[in-house]
């Protein structure tokens, strides 16, 4: 498909600075731009590329001021990254064929209910009394357990497993290999060398507009529910323990682990490989840097934390200056100790 810069500007409520009739037929990173491509600039770190890019047009912020000549046509918008997301969504909708129907190898139990205009791929299994909402897409090898209820317009990519009694809201996306509702890690010591498994009789609830990355595991509650609130986005390879609650619109990067019964607030952002101890509470709006270790409750909203154990990020960076100097400080301390000992001997 081909568009002009003026057409794209109208779609995005933007303005054109340059040739409004320039033709665009693809999207490229600004550092890899070429004729006919549309790129975007949202991070100032990449500004040098706008002066050398081969792209025909670039999405920029309304207030962008070039420090030297730009040969590409500029399409000025409020937020270039969001504008790009909208364009990519439109492109995907136009280019990806809509799949409908039920593959002959799929197995759907008689007591299960499937909605209108669903796609159920090869070797999908839908268990007793499960409900699949209108417009859902279940790709090959998806497993849906007993009594699972799935809302409208959900997409489950190949190999997703949803265990019994779990509840999935509307417009959710679950990527390949994710497991929703496996048993929580609950074992009671029985003597010095044995453990008794504690039955996990709760479930998992995913509210509307949740996205779960590939191979992420969300454990069912021991009792009650593990809850992922509306708008949460979880990356690949995340472990969510039993009875965890993640607040609305929180985003969590890959390989993070949340131990059981931890409560995460709304609008939080966590980097990769953050580790949370169990039974903690994290206030709304907190931001935690990658590989941090959270050992205690965070009560102050909008805290920015980093390190292990995590502390205020500014304090951590100041402390890090001294961490790097420790070997030299240790050497000087040894020399000083020897000097003091020498003076004592005299």
Task: In whole angstroms, give the CA distance from residue 106 to residue 91.
Answer: 30
- The token pair at 238 is 């995340």
Which residues partner with 293 through β-bridges? 275
Residue tagged active-site, from 34, 123, 242, 279: 242
Residue 194 neighbours by CB under 8 Å, 6+ apart? none
DSSP-derived secondary structure for 132-187: E-TT-EE-TT-EE-TT-EE-SS-EE-TT-EE-TT-EE-SS-EE-TT-EEEEPP--E
Asked about 242 being catalytic, the answer comes back as yes
Residue 247 neighbours by CB under 8 Å, 6+ apart? 229, 232, 263, 264, 265, 266, 267, 268, 284
Q: Nearest CA to 141 among 125, 165, 163?
A: 125
Task: In whole angstroms, give the CA distance from residue 211 to residue 247.
Answer: 14
Task: In whole angstroms, give the CA distance from residue 245 to residue 247.
Answer: 6
Q: Nearest CA to 222 among 258, 185, 195?
A: 185
**Which residues are tagged catalytic?**
242
């Amino acid at each position: 498909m081909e568009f002009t810069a003026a057409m794209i500007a109208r779609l995005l409520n933007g303005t054109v600075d340059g040739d409004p009739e320039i033709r665009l037929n693809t999207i490229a990173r600004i550092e890899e731009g070429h004729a006919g491509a549309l790129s975007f600039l949202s991070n100032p770190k990449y500004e040098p590329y706008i002066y050398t890019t081969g792209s025909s047009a670039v999405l920029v912020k309304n207030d962008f001021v070039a420090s030297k000549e730009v040969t590409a046509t500029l399409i000025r918008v409020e937020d270039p990254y969001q504008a790009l997301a909208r364009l990519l969504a439109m492109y995907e909708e136009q280019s990806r064929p809509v799949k409908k129907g039920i593959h002959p190898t799929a197995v759907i139990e008689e007591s299960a209910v499937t909605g209108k205009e669903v796609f159920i791929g090869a070797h999908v299994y839908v268990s007793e009394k499960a409900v699949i909402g209108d417009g859902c897409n279940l790709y090959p090898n998806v497993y849906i357990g007993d009594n699972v209820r799935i809302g409208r317009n959900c997409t489950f990519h190949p190999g997703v497993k949803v265990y019994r009694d779990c509840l999935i809201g509307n417009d959710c996306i679950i990527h390949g290999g994710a497991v929703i509702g496996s048993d929580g890690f609950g074992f009671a010591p029985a003597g010095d060398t044995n453990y008794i498994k504690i039955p996990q009789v709760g479930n998992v609830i995913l509210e509307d507009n949740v996205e779960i990355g590939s191979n992420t595991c969300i454990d069912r509650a021991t009792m009650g529910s593990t809850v992922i609130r509306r708008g949460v986005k979880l990356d690949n390879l995340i472990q969510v323990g039993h009875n965890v609650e993640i607040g609305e619109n929180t985003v969590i990067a890959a390989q993070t682990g949340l131990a059981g019964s931890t409560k995460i607030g709304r609008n939080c952002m966590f980097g990769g490989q953050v580790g949370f101890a169990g039974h903690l509470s994290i206030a709304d709006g907190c931001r935690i840097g990658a590989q941090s270790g959270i050992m205690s409750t965070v009560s102050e909203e909008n805290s920015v934390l980093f390190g292990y154990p995590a502390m205020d990020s500014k304090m951590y960076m100041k402390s890090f200056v001294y961490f790097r100097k420790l070997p030299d400080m240790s050497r000087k301390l040894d020399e000083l100790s020897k000097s003091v000992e020498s003076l004592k001997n005299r």
